[in-house]
Amino acid sequence: MTNKSNFRLGVLAGDGIGPEITEATVRVLEAAAGIASAPVTLTPAVVGWKAYEKSKSTLPDETLNVLNASDGWILGPTFAGEYPKDDPIRGHPSGFLRRHFKLFGNVRPVEAWSQFNPLIPDLKVTIIRENTEGFYPDRNLAWGYGEFKPTEDVALSLRVITGVACDRFARFALEHAKANGNSVLHIAHKRTAMPQTEGLFISAFEKLQPEFPDISVELLRIDTFSSSFPREPHRYKLVATTNLFGDILSDQASGLAGGVGMAASLNAGTDKAMAQAVHGTAPDIAGQGKANPSALILSAAMLMTWWFQKTGEASYRKAATLMEEGVRRAVETGNTTADLGGKAGTAEFADAVIKQMQK
């Protein structure tokens, strides 16, 4: 098949271990794209502390210009709450990017890796959360933080749920289910306690279900899901929910799978998407070449799959598969970083992944 597109990607290294794992991820992605004949153009841009030191903003205009001209980007981990108070972004750069570019669907696949001694050895589940609203105050106002303290002993937090956001997210989740062969989509909710907002969320799926006759939409209260998931983990394959619930559930699943060290995620909108590992900046090992880049590599593979689904060009799916299998085989052969019981450094692990892809 002849490729007609060129996948334009921004590269934002971030803070802490971000530059190291982002460099490793870019090397793996370029190798996979070359093997698969999947054209990719990478453009670096600054974010986080380095950006603030240069321009007094953690997300300067030149970075946003790169992202505006890109189809997607790779975001290394950034600090949360450690930036100066005069930063115009006023919070986490990731949250700003999700809201600014309307990256409304956060996909978090969770899979157990034996090297992490998982509580459920064969766990495999995907959590999809709405990404722009809900109980995340930095995403509920056009400017500022959606929490209020009218007096010293009274604090209020704003939760916003809109029909527009629910409708686009429901379609995204159902299309994801269809593309990945899921016959059941569980909706985790708390309509009994919040009938208006949760009712609006649920109704978006109910309206669309006739368009997806092969997918069964099953409602499940969030408290029931939280208690039953550890006991019946294989009952659930794909779960969609609101923002804060999804954040908690995906971390619960990662804990059962052994931790977030290998946890990938994709933040997707209609026109753009952002690859972002679930883990943080790990400043205690930053600059030492010890960090495990697997989660960001797997997130970048999800980005390639997203582009395949948009364009239909199989070379990008091939590149994604190469990256996923390269990581898996490198781990299985023991060429791993210390957190997985190996002795390889960040760059050495990337070398091992590329070697496996080339076989």
Same domain, 122 and 259: yes
Last residue in a domain, options 214, 246, 268: 268
Residue type, 128: I
Residue type, 199: G
Same domain, 154 and 244: yes
d(CA 17, CA 77): 7
Same domain, 27 and 91: yes
* pLDDT value of residue 135: 84
Looking at the structure of the chain, the number of domains it has is: 2
Same domain, 312 and 329: yes
- To which residue do tokens 């929910």 refer? 241
What is the model's pTM? 0.90
Same domain, 108 and 248: yes
* pLDDT value of residue 157: 86
Same domain, 114 and 88: no
* pLDDT value of residue 2: 43
Residue type, 35: I
Boundaries of domain holding 338:
1-102+271-359
Same domain, 116 and 236: yes
Last residue in a domain, options 268, 289, 317: 268
Mean pLDDT, the chain, rounded, equals 92
Same domain, 110 and 191: yes
* Regions of the chain where pLDDT drops below 50: 1-3
Same domain, 137 and 91: no
Reported as a single tens digit per residue, the pLDDT across 88-140 is 887 789 988 988 899 999 999 999 988 888 999 999 999 999 998 888 776 77
Same domain, 132 and 200: yes
Last residue in a domain, options 227, 246, 268: 268
Same domain, 71 and 113: no
Same domain, 236 and 132: yes
**What's 236's domain CATH number?**
3.40.718.10
